[in-house]
């Protein structure tokens, strides 16, 4: 099942997911600081994610992933981690591998990613 969502939204969801592993609560300001974006830009993105029911935001401003948001975030994060590791093993410097993985994670089909994952896990 492919959930239609744009690259920007995927990046926000992945960032919320990563921050939720490090922080007791995630707020828009945390997302803005992590991504280096203006808080106003993040607020617009959070509104869109809330409307698509990928996140909930409490009255105190705490952001939580919904089940659909968590599924997308985990999928993107897994892709990022595996592609970064795979490119690094191919000899790409880690910073470049991470940047390239961030681009690839959004455009790679499930079939291609599964093939890379299978191949990478055989090493």
Domain count, the chain: 2
Are residues 61 and 12 part of one domain?
Answer: yes
42, 66, 90 — which closes off a domain? 66
Q: Are residues 31 and 46 in the same domain?
A: yes
Phi, psi of 16 (to 5 degrees): -60, -45
Q: What is the pTM of this model?
A: 0.87
- For a pLDDT cut of 90, what percent of the chain falls above it? 81
Residues 89 and 110 in one domain: yes
Confidence of residue 7 (pLDDT cuts 50, 70, 90): confident
Query: What CATH number should be reported for the domain holding residue 98?
Result: 1.10.60.10
User: Range of 117's domain?
Assistant: 72-121
pLDDT band of residue 97 (cuts 50, 70, 90) is very high
Identify whether 44 is part of a domain: yes
CA atoms within 13 A on the CB side of 30: 18
- Calculate the alpha carbon distances from 106 to 32, 59, 68, 72, 113 in Å: 21, 32, 17, 11, 10
Q: What is the mean pLDDT of residues 55-74?
A: 96
């Amino acid at each position: 099942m492919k959930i239609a969502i744009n690259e920007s939204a995927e990046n926000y969801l992945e960032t919320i997911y990563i921050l939720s592993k490090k922080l007791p609560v995630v707020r828009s300001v945390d997302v803005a600081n992590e991504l280096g974006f203006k808080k106003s830009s993040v607020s617009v993105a959070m509104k869109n994610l809330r409307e698509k029911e990928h996140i909930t935001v409490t009255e105190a401003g705490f952001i939580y992933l919904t089940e659909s948001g968590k599924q997308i975030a985990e999928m993107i994060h897994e892709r990022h981690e595996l592609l970064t590791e795979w490119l690094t093993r191919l000899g790409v410097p880690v910073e470049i591998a991470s940047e390239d993985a961030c681009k690839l994670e959004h455009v790679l089909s499930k079939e291609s990613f599964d093939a890379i994952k299978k191949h990478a896990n055989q090493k």
